[in-house]
Structure 1
Amino acid sequence: MAKPQVVVAPVLMSKLSVNAPEFYPSGYSNYTESYEDGCEDYPTLSEYVQDFLNHLTEQPGSFETEIEQFAETLNGWVTTDVALQELMELIYQQVGWLMAYSYSFLEAQG
């Protein structure tokens, strides 16, 4: 019976170094002009509605005192049919999730 032969792959020594400077192709400009409109601190329509619905879930008694401000804000924000459709879908989605969560929670408690 023939003895199995072990094949050893040749080891290549790399000349690459982790300390090498970064490579930039010729003509590369490292300067990029950033665009900031100052709106990053303001919530999106989706975030605003979601935060309000979460707040009402936690403090349902605040509905009467806060709904007017919420409605005024939405009136200024929702000015197109597309925005209105987005708002309705968001509310429908959030209410559906909340109802499913509440039902599951009550079933677990029962």
Structure 2
Amino acid sequence: MEFPVALEALSALAHGHRLAVFRLLVRAGSEGLAAGTLAHEIGVLPNTLSSHLTILSHAGLIRVRREGRSLIYSADHDGMRDLLSFLAADCCDGRPEICLPLAALGQTCGGAA
């Protein structure tokens, strides 16, 4: 991931509602959630949510698909992995023991966060 792309993704997540939406979508998995459900869960108006979803989508962190009349949003796991890899790329400075706790997080995927 290039620096400008990482910066856009981090900027997108640097807002409480957008971070909350992204975390909900990560937990929802590939099934995703409808926009109305997201708005209700986060406690924002649909038009406000729409702006947040657009920003997250442009940052490569979420995807959208249409199911009938509903828009279903899901986390873009490739984008998430790319961002996490970018953040960890310079980790450790030759001392892998520094990053061992991060490696352990990968083993707990699907568990409590």
TM over 0.5: no
What is the TM-score with the length of structure 1 in the denominator?
0.29
Greater share of residues in helix: 2
Question: Which structure shows the higher strand fraction?
Answer: 2
